[in-house]
Chains A and B, each alone.
Chain A
């Protein structure tokens, strides 16, 4: 069994181009990076893509990593920014798809009445959770990142502040606003 390495030692070995160190980094952090991406994207495939992109970026840029932040903070930062980019792209695509679907081949306006029926019969708890997840997804980016890092990844306020390059009071404010917004989106029994 290999002895655990500190992040500083791991970074030093990575900077020397050690493949073993890179394998260790991936094994050690893939879960956290994946869960962070998943909490923002809610798609396992997209989350795995983000994980691969993050480790690829680490591989390419670790030489320039000066250790001003902790390794895990850097990884959380990369994961959140990549996930937000993916989501932004998906939103743009969706908007474009909606625009194009409004017009048929003969440019007639097509009306798609909104279908609010749930196609599956789900347990009440699952439905509630789904509703909460959907409401979290509607939060503005910064609030959503702070909220998911706090309540899904269970990061401390200090860690979230480091990931978002901000202060602890700013994180408190983001979380407060996120909860207020969720109150508006959700029925009172869920908040």
Chain B
């Protein structure tokens, strides 16, 4: 017949063996709530800001990105809008410069 302990005996034996770990029952240091309270206040305070705004590096990165996009868009827009004289104005200037008689261009 086997002398191995039954699962129940083993269960009880382990609980008994670990008794010194729970007697006396370990307790947190006194005034735990007093230490917890500031963290609660911080969490429930003006926490309406999203998490990425509470981290300056992310906020800075975001601001830089927005700025770069705006500058890029402005430069692009300005390049497209360079003032150019209309064709008829160019011909009029040419006629005036060379004191030519007025004439009509075939396509006008």
Residues of A that sit less than 8 Å from B by CB: 22-23, 26-27, 30-31, 34-35, 38-39, 44, 47-48, 51-52, 55-56, 59-60, 125, 129, 132-133, 147, 150-154, 172, 175-176, 179
- Contact status B15-A31, CB under 8 Å: no
- Contact status B33-A26, CB under 8 Å: yes
- Which residues of B1-46 have CB atoms within 8 Å of chain A's CB atoms? 7, 10-11, 14-15, 17-18, 20-22, 25-29, 32-33, 35-36, 39-40, 43-44
Q: How large is the interface on B (under 10, 10 to 19, 20 to 34, 35 or more residues)?
A: 20 to 34
Bound Cα distance A60, B14 (Å): 37
- Contact status A26-B32, CB under 8 Å: yes
Question: Ordered nearest first, which 8 A-B pairs have the shortest CB separation?
Answer: A34-B28, A151-B14, A151-B15, A151-B18, A48-B28, A26-B33, A52-B36, A152-B18
- Contact status A51-B21, CB under 8 Å: no
Least CB separation from B22: chain A residue: A152
Bound Cα distance A19, B50 (Å): 25
| Known pairs A27-B33, A48-B29, A48-B32; A59 contacts B43 (CB<8 A) | yes
Bound Cα distance A145, B54 (Å): 35
Beyond A26-B33, A27-B33, A151-B18, list 10 extra A-B contacts (CB 8 Å).
A26-B32, A34-B26, A51-B28, A55-B36, A56-B43, A59-B40, A59-B44, A132-B18, A152-B18, A153-B22
User: Chain A: interface secondary structure?
Assistant: helix
- Contact status A35-B36, CB under 8 Å: no
Kindly identify which residue among A22, A39, A44 contacts B21, using a CB–CB cutoff of 8 Å. Answer: A39
- Contact status A26-B17, CB under 8 Å: no
- Chain A residues with CB under 8 A of B43: 56, 59-60
Bound Cα distance A150, B21 (Å): 13
| Closest Cβ–Cβ distance, residue A171 to chain B (whole Å) | 11
- Chain B residues with CB under 8 A of A59: 40, 43-44
Kindly identify which residue among A47, A60, A129, A175 contacts B11, using a CB–CB cutoff of 8 Å. Answer: A175
- Contact status A23-B33, CB under 8 Å: yes
- Chain A residues with CB under 8 A of B25: 31, 35
- Contact status A176-B33, CB under 8 Å: no
**Most chain A CB neighbours (cut-off 10 Å) among B21, B33, B35:** B21
| Known pairs A38-B26, A60-B43, A129-B21; A30 contacts B10 (CB<8 A) | no
